[in-house]
């Protein structure tokens, strides 16, 4: 029997690293994950932890890397590409990819950057290049440039939601929303492709709708909640029917009510209880 897949939300990594999740408990959970799931690393979680590291001082560089070590911890890890890329490949079978100016695949780039960042003594050394663990080549990565580039979509998302509030932008409609996903890759948004993609991204679409409803709340500041963009994209990975998402944030369930994919959003407390019950069985 093929084991289901699982990836971690950013908040799980941060809470383990900070000690808010008991280390002994996490060791048991990690063992359970290794035994019962195929472990994956989300591009969004990877990205959010790197941008958090970018914004910290070099004085705290080693301490601030702890969530990345948690993310890399479970054995036999696999990497998930950018959520749009993953959804289009998985749902439509179209081989799209982001350009990383490298002869490596996107998944290989993610792993090389994560390893180099964990090994780097500071941001400057990482920017100048860290020798790979195989000793064959160097990986260079500019955290500050990455932060600036990859956070632009969050700002655009906040502006879209602000436009919905002001009435200058329509609320998202399923097929138009799917067409918006296809557009950056030069793909013609044929009706059948849009419908297929929208159905496969049901949880992400419902989450998007819930955010648009917040436009009614004049006191809700979309800019200070820019991470909502990443939260939406985490749910893109659920287009793979074997994928499960482990999070500390109950809002993911609350905002995807009635989605058939919601049952694969696993809250950490429930997951710990399930793991404990499984380990008690003979």
Q: pLDDT per residue over 137-155, tens digit each?
A: 789 999 999 988 887 666 6
Sign of CA dihedral 192, 193, 194, 195: positive
Residues 6+ apart with CB under 8 A from 5: 37, 38, 39, 40, 240, 242, 243, 244
- Where is mean pLDDT largest: 5-9, 133-137, 185-189? 5-9
Q: Which SS3 state, helix, strand or coil, does residue 6 take? A: strand
Query: 62-68: long-range contacts (C-beta < 8 A, 24 or more apart)?
Result: 62/121, 65/117, 65/118, 66/17, 66/18, 67/10, 67/13, 67/14, 67/16, 67/17, 68/13, 68/114, 68/117, 68/118
Tell me which DSSP letter residue 56 carries: S
Identify the pLDDT of residue 220.
Answer: 64
Total structural domains within the chain: 1
Identify the pLDDT of residue 18.
Answer: 96
Question: Higher model confidence: residue 142 or residue 276?
Answer: 142
Q: Answer whether residue 77 shows pLDDT above 70.
A: yes
Question: Higher model confidence: residue 164 or residue 114?
Answer: 114
Buried b (16+ CB within 10 A) or exposed e, 247-267: bbbeebbebbeebebbebbbb
Enumerate helices (H) and strands (E) in the chain, giving the number of each.
Answer: 16, 7
Which among 144, 200, 194, 150 is positioned nearest to 173, based on CA atoms?
194
- Domain of residue 239 covers 5-280
Identify the pLDDT of residue 213.
Answer: 78
pLDDT band, very low/low/confident/very high, at 226 (cuts 50, 70, 90): low
Identify the pLDDT of residue 37.
Answer: 95
Query: Looking at residues 24-43, what average pLDDT do you find?
Result: 94
What does the mean pLDDT of the chain come to? 88
Q: Which SS3 state, helix, strand or coil, does residue 7 take? A: strand
Tell me which DSSP letter residue 170 carries: P
């Amino acid at each position: 029997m093929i084991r289901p897949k699982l990836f971690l939300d950013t908040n799980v990594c941060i809470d383990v690293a900070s000690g808010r999740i008991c280390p002994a408990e996490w060791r048991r959970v990690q063992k359970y994950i290794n035994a019962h799931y195929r472990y994956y690393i989300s591009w969004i979680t990877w990205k959010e932890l790197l941008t958090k590291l970018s914004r910290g001082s070099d004085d705290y560089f080693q301490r601030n890397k702890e969530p990345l070590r948690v993310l890399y911890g479970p054995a036999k890890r696999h990497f998930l590409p950018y959520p749009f890329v993953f959804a289009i490949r998985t749902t439509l079978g179209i081989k799209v990819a982001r350009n990383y100016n490298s002869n490596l695949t996107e998944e290989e780039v993610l792993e090389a950057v994560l390893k180099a960042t964990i090994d780097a003594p500071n941001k400057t050394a990482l920017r100048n290049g860290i020798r790979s663990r195989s000793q064959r080549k160097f990986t260079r990565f500019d955290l500050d440039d990455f932060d600036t580039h990859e956070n632009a979509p969050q700002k655009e998302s906040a502006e879209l939601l602000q436009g919905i509030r002001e009435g200058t932008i329509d609320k998202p409609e399923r097929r138009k929303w799917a067409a918006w996903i296809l557009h950056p890759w030069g793909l013609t948004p044929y009706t059948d492709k849009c419908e297929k993609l929208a159905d496969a991204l049901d949880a992400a679409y419902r989450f998007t709708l819930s955010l648009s409803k917040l436009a009614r709340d004049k006191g809700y500041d979309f800019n200070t909640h820019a991470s909502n963009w990443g939260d939406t994209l985490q749910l893109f990975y659920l287009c793979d029917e074997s994928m499960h998402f482990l999070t500390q944030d109950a809002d993911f369930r609350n905002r995807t009510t009635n989605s058939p994919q919601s049952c694969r959003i696993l809250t950490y407390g429930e997951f710990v209880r399930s793991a404990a019950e499984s380990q008690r069985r003979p």
